[in-house]
Amino acid sequence: MQRPAIRDDLALRAGYHSPQLDVEVRLNTNEAPASPPAAFAERVAQAARDMEWNRYPDRQATALRAALAERYGRSVGEVFVGNGSNEVLQTLMLTFGGVGRTAAVFEPTYALHSHISKTAGTTVVEGARRDDFSLDLDEVQRVIEQTDPNVLFLCSPNNPSGLIDPPDTVDRVLEMLAGSHTLLVVDEAYGQFAPSSAVGRIDEDTAMVVSRTFSKTWSMASARLGYLLGPSWIVDELFKVILPYHLDGMKQAAGLAALEFGDEMDVRVAQVIEERGRLLTAFEDLPVTTWNSAASFFLFRPETMGGDELWQALVDRSILLRNCASWPGLEGCLRVTIGTPEENDRLLAALQDILG
Ligand X SMILES: Cc1ncc(COP(=O)(O)O)c(C=O)c1O
Which SS3 state, helix, strand or coil, does residue 135 take? coil
Choices 46-54, 84-92, 96-104, 169-177; region in contact with ligand X by CB under 6 A: 84-92
Closest distance of CB 178 from ligand X, Å: 26
Q: Please identify which residue in 25, 27, 30, 117 interacts with ligand X, judged by CB under 6 A.
A: 30
Question: What's the distance, Cα to Cα, between the start and end of the chain in Å?
Answer: 59
Q: Please identify which residue in 84, 108, 127, 255 interacts with ligand X, judged by CB under 6 A.
A: 84
Closest distance of CB 81 from ligand X, Å: 11
Residue 86 or 114 having the CB closest to ligand X: 86
Q: Please, what is the Cα angle at 217 between 343 and 91, to 5 degrees?
A: 125
Beta 183-187 vs 208-213: how paired, if at all? parallel
249 in contact with ligand X (CB under 6 A): no
Closest to 164 (Cα-Cα) out of 61, 22, 296: 296
Q: Are 62 and 76 in contact (CB under 8 A)?
A: yes
State how far the Cα of 179 lies from the Cα of 225, in Å rounded to an integer.
33
State how far the Cα of 216 lies from the Cα of 40, in Å rounded to an integer.
16
Which string of DSSP letters, residue by residue, matches 98-159? Answer: -TT-EEEEEESS-HHHHHHHHHTTPEEEEEE--TTS---HHHHHHHHHHH--SEEEEESS-T
Residue 119 or 159 having the CB closest to ligand X: 159
91 in contact with ligand X (CB under 6 A): no
90 in contact with ligand X (CB under 6 A): no
Q: Which of residues 166-205 bind ligand X (CB under 6 A)?
A: 187, 189
323 in contact with ligand X (CB under 6 A): no
State how far the Cα of 102 lies from the Cα of 125, in Å rounded to an integer.
7
Query: To which H or E segment does residue 36 belong?
Result: none
Q: Which of residues 203-222 bind ligand X (CB under 6 A)?
A: 213, 215, 221
290 in contact with ligand X (CB under 6 A): no
Of all residues in the shown chain, the one whose CB is closest to ligand X is 84
Q: Please identify which residue in 36, 97, 127, 226 interacts with ligand X, judged by CB under 6 A.
A: 226
State how far the Cα of 185 lies from the Cα of 187, in Å rounded to an integer.
6
Choices 78-86, 257-265, 300-308, 348-356; region in contact with ligand X by CB under 6 A: 78-86
Closest distance of CB 294 from ligand X, Å: 12
Q: Which of residues 125-144 bind ligand X (CB under 6 A)?
A: none
State how far the Cα of 119 lies from the Cα of 128, in Å rounded to an integer.
22
Q: Please identify which residue in 155, 164, 176, 338 interacts with ligand X, judged by CB under 6 A.
A: 155
Closest distance of CB 193 from ligand X, Å: 12
Which residues would be at the binding site for ligand X (CB under 6 A)? Answer: 30, 84-86, 110, 155, 159, 187, 189, 213, 215, 221, 226
